[in-house]
Amino acid sequence: MHEVAAMQGAVRTILEQMQQAGGSRVTMVELILGASGHFTEEAARQHFAVLTTDTPAEGAALEIFWLPATFQCFACLHRFESCQPAEEVACPRCGDMALQINHQDACSVKAIEVSFDENAFEETQGVTGV
């Protein structure tokens, strides 16, 4: 359920930023997600699609940027970072299994692109750093 709450917060931020920019629709969203095993790309896209239904962000393109998690190998104790799902991670040094030891539970908006009401403007403007 944590994933849904995090995505709800991101969608709320996206819609607030669109309104502050005077936009009428969100056409593109860049999200930063922590690769912690909680979010998969498929799940993030599904949550985004459901939560933006019937909003000005419905149908917006979604680009996801992953923050890596830290892993440690069981065999050689090598520490490394990876953005892959935890169940797919193997030690790059020896190939053995690795345990996720640190991650960033992040879900934040990197940037959005909004369009404006055709009566007011006929352009698209990016809003970054939201």
The tokens of 129 are what? 């750093």
pLDDT digits (tens, 9 = 90+) for 39-82: 788 989 999 999 999 999 999 999 999 999 999 999 999 999 99
Q: Which residue has the higher pLDDT, 3 or 50?
A: 50
Say which residue the tokens 């593109």 belong to: 28
Beta bridge partners of 64: 31
Look at phi and psi of residue 77 and say left if phi exceeds 0, alpha if psi is from -120 to 50, else beta: left
pLDDT digits (tens, 9 = 90+) for 26-36: 999 999 998 87
pLDDT exceeds 70 at position 126:
no
Kindly indicate the confidence band of residue 118, based on its pLDDT and cuts at 50, 70 and 90.
low
Instruction: Judge whether 27 and 116 are in contact, CB under 8 Å.
Output: no
Interatomic CA distance for residues 78 and 74, integer angstroms: 8
pLDDT digits (tens, 9 = 90+) for 13-22: 999 999 999 9
Kindly indicate the confidence band of residue 4, based on its pLDDT and cuts at 50, 70 and 90.
confident
Let me know if 20 is exposed, middle or buried by CB neighbors in 10 A (0-12, 13-18, 19+).
exposed
Q: What are phi and psi of 84, to 5 degrees?
A: -75, 155
Residue percentage of the chain with pLDDT more than 90 = 68
Please compute the mean of the pLDDT values over residues 101-122 and round it to a whole number.
Answer: 80
Domain boundaries, the chain: 2-67+105-128
Residue percentage of the chain with pLDDT more than 70 = 88
Q: What is the CATH number of domain 2-67+105-128?
A: 3.30.2320.50
* pLDDT score for 1: 47
Strands 69-73 and 98-102: antiparallel
